[in-house]
């Protein structure tokens, strides 16, 4: 490949949706490359988004690979680059390079029940798998989503979640009691224990704050899920995205290259340094 892997491709922002407002805002961006290219990704992969002059940030691609018209990213405003992204408007140009990382081995999950468990912004990385599975529903077993956030205002993809109810089992939750909230009240791991997904012929994919992942894995193990049936994503500070700058490693793995998708069986073997 003669392409220079450090040069981002320019893309236009075609749509911005404010998912969550307040002190920890989340916006969803849809982008289209200015020049046609061969960018194609798989579920779970990420891309480096550039705001020229500010820097780059590695964001997971939340649109399905089957979606050819745009790439979708959901971004939590956290620091310099993400703040700059939040200040962009439709029509502005950003840089994208990628796709980076490994992917959810969705081919191996054909015929299995898929249980998606997300917390807060963590729904974004698994959104791509969820929609790919939905589009090919006949290939997979029962599809379930267990998703929660601090308050109902912090849930992402709220409009799509309402439509999702008709196509698969959706169990939502918020951390504390709220007026007009009819569904489960409690943390996501507690909701998992409450809804008792069966481990038979199932794969569970979980993503969210590290502490939520820790307790979700525990809850799943108590329900009888084996290590190889639990998948998650790991994040680390990244700069090059291709396993060369030495920054994002956990043990001998570079998360930008050998991750971010890991089964719990594999993640257990790495040093617990993340």
Partner 1 sequence: MEKILTKKSFPAWVKKLQSYTVYSPEKQENLWSYEVIQNPDKLNLEHLNTVLAPKKITYPQREIFLQFNTSKEGKPQIKEVLPEEHPAVIFGVRPCDAKAITLTDKVFGEEPKDPYYWSRRNQTILVGLTCNPPPSPNCFCLSVGGSPHSKEGLDILMTDMGDKYHIDSLTKKGEKLIKAAENLFKPASSKDKKELEKIQRESEKKIKREVKDIKNIPDKLKDMFESPFWDEEAMSCIRCGICTYLCPTCFCFDITDELTSTLPLKGKRVRTWDTCQFPDFTMHSSGHNPRPDKASRLRQRMLHKFQYHVENYQDYLCTGCGRCISLCPMGIDIIEILNKVREHE
Partner 2 sequence: MVNLEEIKKEAKKILEEGKVKYIIGYAKSSKALMAAPAFVKKPEDIDKLIWDPTCFQNLVKFLLDEKRKKAREKEPDTRPVGIFVKGCDSRAINVLLQEKFITREDVYIMGLSCEDLGVLDEKKIFKKLKGEKPEKIEFDQRKNIVISTKEKTIKIPLKEILAERCLECTSSFPVISDVFWGDRNNRSPKEPFKSLEQIESLSQEEKWDFWQQQLSKCIRCYACRSVCPMCYCDECVVDSINLAITADTTAEEKAQKIKWIEKSPESSENFGYHLVRAMHLAGRCIDCSECERVCPVDIPIRFLNKKLEKVAKELFDYKAGLDPEQPSLVSSFKDEDPEDFIR
Helix, coil or strand: residue 95: strand
**Residue with Cβ nearer partner 2 (83 or 190):** 83
**Residue with Cβ nearer partner 2 (84 or 219):** 84
Question: 197 is written with which tokens?
Answer: 């997904």
Distance from C-alpha of 272 to C-alpha of 267, rounded to nearest angstrom: 8
Stretch that binds partner 1, among 60-68, 172-180, 197-205, 266-274 (CB under 8 A): 266-274
DSSP code of residue 132: H
The answer to whether residue 84 forms part of the interface with partner 2 (CB under 8 A) is yes
Phi, psi of 66 (to 5 degrees): -75, -15
Question: 106 is written with which tokens?
Answer: 């969705």
**Residue with Cβ nearer partner 1 (55 or 186):** 55
- Window 226-255: contact mask with partner 1 (x via CB under 8 A): ---------xxx-xx-xxxxxxxxxxx---
Among the listed residues 43, 56, 202, 231, the single contact to partner 1 using CB under 8 A: 56
Q: How far is the CB of 205 from partner 2 (least distance, A)?
A: 26
Distance from C-alpha of 258 to C-alpha of 274, rounded to nearest angstrom: 15
Using CB under 8 A, count the residues that bind partner 2.
9
**Interaction partner, residue 211 (partner 2, partner 1, none; CB < 5-8 Å by kind):** none
The answer to whether residue 80 forms part of the interface with partner 2 (CB under 8 A) is yes
Q: Is-contact 267 232, C-beta < 8 A?
A: yes
Question: Tokens 């196509």 map to which residue?
Answer: 167
Q: Is-contact 75 26, C-beta < 8 A?
A: yes
Q: How far is the CB of 245 from partner 1 (least distance, A)?
A: 5
Sorted by sequence, the CB contacts under 8 Å of residue 61 that are 6+ apart come out as 41, 45, 46, 47, 71, 72, 73, 98, 99, 128
Among the listed residues 15, 79, 153, 196, the single contact to partner 1 using CB under 8 A: 79
Q: Is-contact 168 160, C-beta < 8 A?
A: no
The answer to whether residue 91 forms part of the interface with partner 1 (CB under 8 A) is no
Rule CB under 8 A: which residues touch partner 2? Answer: 23, 77-80, 82-84, 86
Residues contributing to the site for partner 1 (CB under 8 A): 1, 4-8, 10, 52-56, 78-80, 82, 93, 95, 235-237, 239-240, 242-252, 271, 273-274
């Amino acid at each position: 490949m003669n392409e220079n892997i450090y040069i981002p491709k320019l893309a236009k922002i075609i749509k911005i949706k404010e998912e969550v407002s307040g002190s920890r805002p989340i916006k969803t961006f849809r982008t289209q490359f200015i020049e046609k290219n061969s960018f194609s990704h798989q579920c779970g992969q990420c891309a480096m988004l550039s705001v020229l002059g500010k820097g780059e940030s590695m964001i997971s691609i939340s649109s399905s690979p089957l979606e050819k018209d745009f790439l979708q990213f959901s971004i939590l405003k956290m620091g310099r680059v993400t703040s700059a992204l939040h200040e962009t408007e439709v029509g502005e140009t950003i840089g994208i390079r990628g796709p980076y990382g490994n992917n959810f081995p969705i081919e191996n999950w054909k015929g299995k029940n898929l249980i998606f468990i997300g917390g807060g912004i963590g729904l974004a990385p698994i959104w791509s798998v969820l929609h790919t599975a939905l589009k090919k529903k006949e290939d997979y077993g029962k599809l379930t989503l267990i998703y929660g956030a601090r308050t109902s205002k912090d849930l992402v993809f709220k409009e799509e979640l309402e439509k999702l109810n008709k196509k698969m089992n959706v169990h939502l939750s918020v951390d504390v009691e709220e007026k007009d909230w009819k569904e489960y009240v409690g943390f996501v791991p507690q909701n998992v224990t409450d809804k008792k997904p069966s481990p038979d012929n199932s794969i569970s994919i979980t993503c969210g704050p590290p502490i939520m992942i820790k307790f979700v894995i525990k809850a799943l193990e108590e329900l009888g899920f084996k290590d190889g049936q639990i998948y998650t994503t790991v994040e680390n500070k990244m700069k090059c995205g291709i396993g060369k700058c030495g920054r994002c490693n956990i043990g001998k793995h570079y998360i930008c290259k050998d991750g971010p998708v890991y089964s719990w069986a594999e993640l257990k073997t790495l040093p617990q340094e993340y």
